[in-house]
Amino acid sequence: MTRLTLDQAHALAKLILLHNGFSLAHADAVADTVAAGERDGCASHGLYRVLGCVASLKAGKVEADARPEVVDQAPSIVRVDAAGGFSQLAFQAGLPLLKDKARANGIAAMAINRCVHFSALWVEIEQLTEAGLVALACTPSHAWVAPAGGNQPVFGTNPIAFGWPRAGHDPFVFDFATSAIARGEIELHRRAGKAIPEGWGVDAQGQPSTDPNVVLDLGAMLTFGGHKGSALAAMVELIAGPLIGDLTSAESLAHDGGSKSSPYHGELIIALDPRRFLGDATEQHLARAESLFESIQGQGARLPSQRRYEARARSRVDGVEIPTALYNDLKALLA
Ligand code: NDP
Ligand code: PYC
């Protein structure tokens, strides 16, 4: 393993992105999210993703210097045209207007269109909970996941993330793929030469497989929770696809044309302002939520993101460790 400080992790990602031709704005925005992923123990969306950024650029599937355009679409809707660039910069561009609209109306949505998307969603959710807003986000990806009862890929790994602000605590955030696991995690198993657990994917005949090569290249991934994850995956396709005038995961994969680049589609983010719902500023919703969290944790269960926050605290002291093979692959992109 190779140890890096958080500053070194960020600087490495940024340097590689700049060296390979990305604009400073994109390099900064992407380095922020991949360094945060590494810091929080989310290796599947950490520095490893920089390899995919550069590969997508070489394949002509991302605009290196795209400038997102923010459109005031409707009283409660912000639209950001990412113009073929990464979602991270588009999110940053639209965030101030999304927050203003949520505060003015109680609920607001942001549709990001035409973005190349590979990031974890909690990074975005935390920027809304920091502003005292409740938040929900989802996005398709490429069609890699079979619906429950079938064995042909239709859905993306379609993450759904939710955040609730807390006074004096890190926010309550969950963020998971509607597949049994993120594809990035299976890719990391392949890189490490490790088998995957049963239940993550099937072979081309629909039979269970623990071989990451088979699941990634020949078969299909599976949804979590059978028909329930399958329905949620379909919902994500609809509300972050046709609803916002953007591509489904199947259309994103067709657009990819076999280049194996990062997915290209849209993202839907919804922000809610509790003060508008309640009509006051007493923050009673925060105290009431704490009772719920206490009744979860009081019996020894953990809250989602607790592991991540603990990893964050550790990384701030110790830095992060990445596989040396990954470090070498990253350094090779500076040649
Ligand atoms: P997991 O299956 O690991 O689930 C993640 C969520 O569940 C986290 O909030 C996690 O908290 C929480 N969790 C895990 N175990 C427990 C537990 N025992 N008790 C309570 N909560 C728990 O992650 P996925 O593989 O599904 O997704 C990982 C990431 O991949 C996400 O950040 C997602 O946004 C990203 N992704 C992005 C895609 C894209 O298209 N951009 C596509 C698919 C995934 P904690 O982190 O603290 O463990
Ligand atoms: O890990 O499933 C995944 C993923 C898809 C796009 C970005 N991450």
By C-alpha distance, which of 84, 88, 82 is closest to 35? 88
Residue 2 has pLDDT above 90, yes or no: yes
**pLDDT per residue over 258-277, tens digit each?**
999 999 999 999 999 999 99
Percentage of the chain exceeding pLDDT 90:
99
Q: Please indicate, yes or no, whether residues 10 and 152 belong to a single structural domain of this protein.
A: no
Q: Is the CB of 221 under 6 A from ligand 2?
A: no
Q: Please indicate, yes or no, whether residues 73 and 126 belong to a single structural domain of this protein.
A: yes
- Which atom belonging to ligand 1 lies closest to the Cα atom of 174? 9
ipTM of the complex: 0.99
Residues 289, 101, 70, 234, CA torsion sign: positive
Residue 280 has pLDDT above 90, yes or no: no
In a domain, 160, yes or no: yes
**In the block, residue with structure tokens 């004096």:** 168
- Which atom belonging to ligand 2 lies closest to the Cα atom of 187? 1
Domain with 11 in it: what CATH number? 1.10.1530.10
Q: Please indicate, yes or no, whether residues 119 and 30 belong to a single structural domain of this protein.
A: no
Q: At what angle do helices 324-332 and 49-58 cross, to 10 degrees?
A: 30
Percentage of the chain exceeding pLDDT 70:
100
**In the block, residue with structure tokens 């942001």:** 110
DSSP H or E segment with residue 318 = helix 306-318
By C-alpha distance, which of 271, 309, 325, 330 is closest to 131? 271
In a domain, 44, yes or no: yes
Contacts of 207 (CB under 8 A, 6+ apart): none
Residue 220 has pLDDT above 90, yes or no: yes
Measured by CA distance, the residue closest to atom 6 of ligand 2 is 118
pLDDT of residue 282: 82
Ligand 1 centroid to Cα of residue 212, in Å, is 19
Q: Please indicate, yes or no, whether residues 103 and 24 belong to a single structural domain of this protein.
A: no
Looking at the structure of the chain, the number of domains it has is 2
Residue 188 has pLDDT above 90, yes or no: yes
Domain with 160 in it: what CATH number? 3.30.1370.60
Q: Please indicate, yes or no, whether residues 92 and 23 belong to a single structural domain of this protein.
A: no
In a domain, 129, yes or no: yes
pTM: 0.98
Calpha distance 286→146 (Å, rounded): 39
Ligand 2 centroid to Cα of residue 55, in Å, is 15
**Domain encompassing residue 96:** 69-179+223-278
pLDDT of residue 278: 94
Q: Is the CB of 139 under 6 A from ligand 1?
A: yes
Q: Please indicate, yes or no, whether residues 99 and 51 belong to a single structural domain of this protein.
A: no
pLDDT of residue 228: 98
In a domain, 215, yes or no: no
Calpha distance 87→186 (Å, rounded): 23
In a domain, 286, yes or no: no
pLDDT of residue 296: 98
Helices (H), the chain: 6-19, 24-39, 49-58, 87-105, 122-129, 183-191, 212-217, 227-239, 249-256, 274-278, 284-297, 306-318, 324-332
Q: Please indicate, yes or no, whether residues 55 and 85 belong to a single structural domain of this protein.
A: no
Q: Please indicate, yes or no, whether residues 79 and 105 belong to a single structural domain of this protein.
A: yes
Instruction: Report, as an integer, the average pLDDT of 286-313.
Output: 97
Ligand 2 centroid to Cα of residue 263, in Å, is 8
Calpha distance 3→20 (Å, rounded): 24
In a domain, 217, yes or no: no
Contacts of 11 (CB under 8 A, 6+ apart): 31
Q: Is 44 a catalytic residue?
A: yes
Q: Please indicate, yes or no, whether residues 85 and 164 belong to a single structural domain of this protein.
A: yes
**pLDDT per residue over 59-97, tens digit each?**
999 999 999 999 999 999 999 999 999 999 999 999 999
Residue 40 has pLDDT above 90, yes or no: yes
Q: Is 45 a catalytic residue?
A: yes
Q: Is the CB of 249 under 6 A from ligand 1?
A: no
10 Å Cβ neighbour count for 88? 27
